[in-house]
Chains A and B, each alone.
Chain A
Amino acid sequence: MKATVHVFLKPGVLDVQGKAVESALHGLGWTGVADVRFGRVIEFGIDETDPAAAKTEVTAMCDRLLANPVIESYRIEVA
């Protein structure tokens, strides 16, 4: 199966990259843009056939390494 993990800074943690890009978009005239957030996407294959089992494994990977729970939250897709 293929896993996709989206990692973002938690709400309340200042995303300075997001702020910088947001102000650049405003400068280009897209003044309605708000709440730009930067994150990372991690994709990998996983040797599992059961989506629930795969998600459990990937959750453990996120908690151990792929995300830092102090500052980040994550969302997992398996397909």
Chain B
Amino acid sequence: MKAAVVIFPGSNCDRDCKVAIERSTGGSVRMIWHQETAIPDGLDLIVLPGGFAHGDYLRCGAMASLSPVMAAIRAAAGRGVAVAGICNGFQILCEAGMLPGALLRNVALKYVCKPVALDVVNSQTRFTAAFGDRRHATMPVGNGEGAYFAEEDTLDRLEGDGRVAFRYRQNPNGSARDIAGILSEGGNVLGIMPHPDRAFEAELGSSDGGLIFQSVMASA
């Protein structure tokens, strides 16, 4: 598998993502600076990592969504390349309009950092197939603005089309309908607030996050 991880100024999970993908899939991972206008050919997965891109100024992900590299990523997603935005990456994909909705300030006004139990809502996607019959997963969250928001009709459409990939069992941040991860209409763009990159080996408390990268590898 050929993967790439984008580095924005302020990204802080880019190395975690690289190591997580390498160790869970054996694939190769290129790092791409956000000022690049071209990305390598033949990528199977592009990851927008967690962190505080551009200092989260204005709104989380707002400035990053306009970084030069995003045009190439949008084009790759249009060709069907798998794109995963984790945490801050999810916020960036929403700001870029590549996923619907937005991430709001957590309801309790607190940064939440802990492992959370998730329901695997749809295991027939490019990002979840490796979960098979498993309906639960554990991964850490680490966010202050992780409350997923979308208009009611958008939420209905996401649920009706099987585009809710993960749900919180105990909602940590006030996300609409307990949503933790969603898919684009084409199913090849994933936004997920919990960190699969912090849960890819049993020593980390969970290896469930690795299943996401393995799912993408199997679909490549």
Across the interface, do B104 and A65 meet the contact criterion of CB distance under 8 Å? no
Cross-chain contact of A17 among B100, B102, B105 (Cβ < 8 A): B105
Across the interface, do B109 and A66 meet the contact criterion of CB distance under 8 Å? no
Across the interface, do A68 and B104 meet the contact criterion of CB distance under 8 Å? no
Q: Tell whether A53 is near chain B: CB-to-CB under 8 Å.
A: no
How far, in whole Å, are A68 and B105 apart by their CA atoms in the complex? 14
Q: How far is the CB of A42 from chain B (nearest CB, A)?
A: 9
Across the interface, do A13 and B105 meet the contact criterion of CB distance under 8 Å? no
Interface string of A1-29 (1 = CB under 8 A from B): 00000000100011011001000000000
Q: Tell whether B202 is near chain A: CB-to-CB under 8 Å.
A: no
Across the interface, do B104 and A14 meet the contact criterion of CB distance under 8 Å? yes
The total number of A-B Cβ pairs within 8 Å is 34
Residues B105-121 near A (CB distance < 8 A) = 105-109
Chain B residues near A46 (CB-CB < 8 A): none
How far, in whole Å, are A13 and B107 apart by their CA atoms in the complex? 11
Q: Tell whether B62 is near chain A: CB-to-CB under 8 Å.
A: yes
Chain B residues near A16 (CB-CB < 8 A): 104-109, 174
Cross-chain contact of B149 among A65, A66, A71 (Cβ < 8 A): A71
Q: Tell whether B177 is near chain A: CB-to-CB under 8 Å.
A: no
Chain A residues near B59 (CB-CB < 8 A): 68
Q: How far is the CB of A14 from chain B (nearest CB, A)?
A: 7
How far, in whole Å, are A51 and B101 apart by their CA atoms in the complex? 33
Across the interface, do A65 and B62 meet the contact criterion of CB distance under 8 Å? yes
Q: Tell whether A70 is near chain B: CB-to-CB under 8 Å.
A: yes
Q: Tell whether B95 is near chain A: CB-to-CB under 8 Å.
A: yes
Chain B residues near A66 (CB-CB < 8 A): 58
How far, in whole Å, are A34 and B28 apart by their CA atoms in the complex? 55
Q: Tell whether B66 is near chain A: CB-to-CB under 8 Å.
A: yes
Chain A residues near B158 (CB-CB < 8 A): none
Q: Tell whether B150 is near chain A: CB-to-CB under 8 Å.
A: yes
Interface string of A57-75 (1 = CB under 8 A from B): 0000000011010110000
How far, in whole Å, are A65 and B107 apart by their CA atoms in the complex? 24
Cross-chain contact of B58 among A17, A65, A71 (Cβ < 8 A): A65
- Ranked 8 nearest A-B pairs via Cβ: A70-B102, A71-B102, A16-B105, A16-B109, A16-B107, A20-B109, A68-B59, A68-B102
Q: 18 A-B pairs, CB-CB below 8 angstroms? A: A9-B104, A14-B104, A16-B105, A16-B109, A16-B174, A17-B105, A17-B109, A20-B109, A65-B58, A65-B62, A68-B59, A70-B94, A70-B101, A70-B102, A70-B149, A70-B150, A71-B102, A71-B149
